[in-house]
Amino acid sequence: MRRVESVVGRDSGGWRRIAQVVVGGSGGMRTDGSEIDEARARGVFSGSRRIVVLGCTGGAGQTTTALMLGHTLAKHRDDRVVAVDANTGGGTLTSKIQPETPETLTSLLSGLDRVSGYLTMRGYTTRTASGLEVISADTDAGAEQRLADRSFFSDHRLGESMRLLDRHYKLAVIDPAAALAARLLPYADQLVLVVPASEEASEAVAMTYEWLDGHGCAELRRRAVMVVNGVSRRSMADVEQAESVARGRCRAIVRVPWEDGLAPDGAETVDPGQLRAAGRRAYLALAGVVVAGFAAQTVRPSEEELASDPPGTRIGER
């Protein structure tokens, strides 16, 4: 039976002292304090890893979660962490930082053959104060159409971009648009699913799990981490109902409390240092749970194996 741990912060009051709930098995998933969370986030694992963040419904907080997870990992680790903004629209991850280069994901994919080393790669990224590097999204009118264009975002080009990330970064956090999400799941070492703390949360979780299982991702779903985003006192009944659907069907559940600065109409540029203590603790717990899973993870299938799968066997082609 899985155990639910309520984690109490030291420097915040009221209900907000409950920073997060982590649900896991007996394999070291218990969260007892910031020191343990930080130690997990700094954990050693072989190779590089890719984390795909998906919202179970619109407005769940997918982009915010990807950005804050990236910031937290970069702050607490000594190796390189990159966030890939593969989304479109007005509320992209790129809109929450101050880009220092005009280069975007499209220009990187167009210039893959010209990236000869890290210094060249660095020309395509923005480095934030936390140390997180960001590959920016395209914001022009044709961005969404390009994401859905398989002649440009081809399987070969996606595979090449994943290998490029592996060469230069220990961890890559990917925030994909809906048109690209299913095609990126075969490349994910870890899936983070985000659900809002609202009345539709439980149904969104159930439908997302059903979709993943129906598309051959049952194992990825079992290893997924569920984030319940924007938890408040008023939403606790909805949160507990969503968790009852998820519990036992994923590796861990992390509650993230409501933060005014992370709301859709909040600050344009998000500074993780401005979060309340409970919010920082929650994202640190998320980072720790994610990294802890990599130590026990088996070797991923090579991109050559994925590319050699017969048509119709990969996600998005069924």
Helical segments of the chain, H only: 34-41, 62-76, 105-110, 118-122, 143-147, 155-168, 178-184, 201-214, 218-222, 236-246, 277-295, 303-308
Helical segments of 90-235, H only: 105-110, 118-122, 143-147, 155-168, 178-184, 201-214, 218-222
Contact 19, 278 (CB under 8 A): yes
Contact 25, 33 (CB under 8 A): no
Work out the percent of the chain whose per-residue pLDDT is above 90.
63
What digits encode the pLDDT tens for the residues 87-118? 987 789 998 999 999 999 999 999 999 999 99
Is 16 or 258 the better-scoring residue by pLDDT?
Answer: 258
Phi-psi region of 12 (alpha: psi -120 to 50; beta: other; left: phi over 0): beta
Report the DSSP pairing between strands 190-196 and 171-176.
unpaired
**Predicted pLDDT at 310:** 36
pLDDT bracket for residue 274 (50, 70, 90): confident
Report the DSSP pairing between strands 133-135 and 81-86.
parallel
Task: Compute the mean pLDDT over every residue in the chain, rounded to the nearest whole number.
Answer: 83
151 phi and psi angles, rounded to 5 deg: -75, -30
**Predicted pLDDT at 203:** 97
Residue 24 has pLDDT above 80, yes or no: no
Contact 243, 21 (CB under 8 A): yes
What digits encode the pLDDT tens for the residues 290-314? 999 997 766 565 444 444 443 333 3
What digits encode the pLDDT tens for the residues 207-252? 999 999 999 999 999 999 999 999 999 999 999 999 999 989 999 9
Question: What whole-number distance in Å separates Cα of residue 15 and Cα of residue 269?
Answer: 27
Question: What whole-number distance in Å separates Cα of residue 205 and Cα of residue 195?
Answer: 7
Question: What whole-number distance in Å separates Cα of residue 211 and Cα of residue 199?
Answer: 20
Domains along the chain with CATH numbers = 3-308 (3.40.50.300)
Contact residues for 256 (Cβ-Cβ < 8 A; gap 6+): 20, 61, 65, 227, 228, 229, 230, 231, 279, 282, 283, 286
* β-bridge partners, 117: none
pLDDT bracket for residue 268 (50, 70, 90): low
Is 7 or 175 the better-scoring residue by pLDDT?
Answer: 175
